[in-house]
Structures are given as C-alpha cells and as structure tokens.
C-alpha cells in the first residue's frame, strides 16, 4: 500500500511538531519545512499527498505557495493560520486552498479534516474500473471523472479537487437544485457551520474559471434563496 505523505509548512517548531505527532500516530509520513520556498520545493520534488500550510511564513507566504503549487499540482491544501477574519478565509479559498483552520486549533479536528480531504483526493487516484464513469458534455464543456479533467472548447480548465467535485456533482444532476448545505455535505462529507460561505467562495471561483464573468449563469445558475443548479 502506498505510504501517504503529508507536508507541514510551519515556522513555529512547537506547532509543527504537535501536528506531526498526531498525524504520525494515524500512520501518516510527515515532512516538515519552516518556510514557503522550502514548501514549494518539497511539493515539486517529492510525492506529497496533502499539504498543511501556515500563511505567515518566511521567504514565501502560504498564499504565494498555493498560487505556485496550483500551476501543476492538485493535492489538497489546508491552511492552518492565526489569521481569523472572513477576508483571510475567503482569500485562502479563492487562492486554491481546500480547507482553512484557525489557530489555536484542536489537533483531533485537524486530523479529521485531513482524513476527509485524503478520502476524497485518493479515491480519484485509483485505477479506473472496467465500467468507467461516463464523460459529461454540455455546451463545449467536457468533464471526465475518471481522468479528473475538465476542458472548455478544447482548452484545459485548471480546477482544485473541491471545485471539480462541485462541478461534477451539479453537472451529473442537471437541473436539480442543490442547497449550499447539501453541496457541502456531499463534497466535503461532513456537516460544518460555515457551509454557506465555503460553498459560495468555491462557486464564485469555479464560475470565473468557466468564463462566466462575461456570460453569467452559463453553466451554474443561482436559484435565489434555494441554492445552485447546472444550467446546461
């Protein structure tokens, strides 16, 4: 069985050691770095399955690390930061993070979130079954669940794992309306009190990547007061 490797990018040694201790008890292999530049190098040179990033780090901050990593890598990213404002959380999610936890934190909650992210990420890395899931096509958009890819008129659309999951959920149930809470429960696999903001931010970024700035509701339509539906 493949060893699951988690990168911990945190310049406070006590916090990094605490996180590593709990993850290692769960059987994960941990790599610790203390600055953003080393985090980027680790992801680019090693097989990292998930990254836990502080935002305020030397060399490069967590936002810049995420921006550089997302050019080629779709591994789950969890921000673990003392920056607690809604603006900070939204910025992190828009930059490409999959989850955001605030310091001080409960190590067991962090572990639960790591497990949840890995369950969803690793299931897409398994070999495709003989009866492969059907490719979805609509209005120039092609979604391949087996390859975990999206193209729009032949051009690749670079989505994070959570953005892909949301798009596939909506597209595979065309015209069905999903509430923000339902999307969160099905994509994240858990109940969470901030579901509305988290889903809203991911939908907003997903729309931008699908070119909906100029053609609103082209693929994802908001049903005000109810939720979202795939409009194709």
Structure confidence by residue, pLDDT tens digits, 88-116: 888 888 888 888 999 999 999 999 889 88
The C-alpha angle 40, 42, 46, rounded to 5 degrees, equals 130
Higher pLDDT pick, 57 / 146:
57
- Render pLDDT for 181-232 as a digit per residue (tens, 0 to 9): 888 888 877 655 555 578 888 898 898 898 876 557 788 988 888 889 998 7
pLDDT category at 129 given cuts 50, 70, 90 is very low
Q: Which of 6, 229, 184, 173 is nearest to 93 (CA)?
A: 184
Number of separate helices (H) and strands (E) present in the chain: 8, 11
> What's the whole-number mean pLDDT along residues 140-169?
89
- Render pLDDT for 50-93 as a digit per residue (tens, 0 to 9): 999 999 999 999 999 999 998 888 889 999 999 888 888 888 88
* pLDDT score recorded for residue 130: 38
Backbone angles phi, psi at 65, to 5 degrees: -60, -45
Give the number of C-alpha atoms closer than 13 A to the C-alpha of residue 49, restricted to the C-beta side. Answer: 21
Percent of the chain, pLDDT > 90?
Answer: 36
> What's the whole-number mean pLDDT along residues 129-134?
50
Residue 32 bridge partners (DSSP): 8
Q: Is 33 exposed, middle or buried (0-12, 13-18, 19+ CB in 10 A)?
A: buried
* pLDDT score recorded for residue 116: 83
User: For residue 172, what are the contacts with CB-CB under 8 A and spacing of at least 6?
Assistant: 136
> What's the whole-number mean pLDDT along residues 125-142?
66
* pLDDT score recorded for residue 54: 95
pLDDT category at 123 given cuts 50, 70, 90 is low
- Cβ-count burial 75-109 (b if 16+ within 10 Å, e if not): bbbbbbbebeeeebbbbbbebbbbbbbeeebeeee
């Amino acid at each position: 069985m493949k060893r699951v490797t988690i990168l911990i990018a945190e310049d406070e040694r006590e916090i990094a050691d605490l996180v590593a201790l709990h993850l290692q008890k769960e059987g994960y292999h941990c790599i610790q770095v203390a600055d953003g530049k080393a985090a980027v190098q680790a992801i680019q040179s090693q097989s990292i399955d998930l990254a836990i990033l502080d935002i305020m780090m030397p060399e490069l901050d967590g936002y810049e690390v995420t921006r550089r990593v997302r050019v080629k890598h779709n591994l789950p990213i969890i921000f673990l930061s003392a920056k607690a404002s809604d603006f900070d959380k939204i910025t992190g999610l828009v930059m490409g993070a999959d989850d955001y936890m605030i310091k001080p934190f409960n190590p067991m909650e962090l572990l639960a979130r790591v497990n949840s992210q890995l369950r969803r990420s690793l299931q897409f890395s398994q070999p495709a079954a003989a009866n492969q899931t059907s490719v979805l096509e609509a209005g120039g958009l092609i979604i391949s669940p087996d390859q975990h890819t999206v193209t729009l008129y032949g051009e690749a659309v670079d989505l994070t794992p959570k953005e892909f999951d949301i798009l596939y959920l909506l597209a595979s149930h065309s015209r069905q309306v999903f509430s923000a809470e339902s999307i969160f429960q099905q994509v994240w696999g858990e109940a969470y009190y901030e579901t509305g903001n988290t889903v809203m931010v991911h939908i907003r970024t997903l729309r931008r990547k699908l070119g909906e700035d100029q053609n609103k509701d082209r693929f994802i339509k908001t049903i005000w007061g109810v939720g979202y539906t795939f409009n194709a």
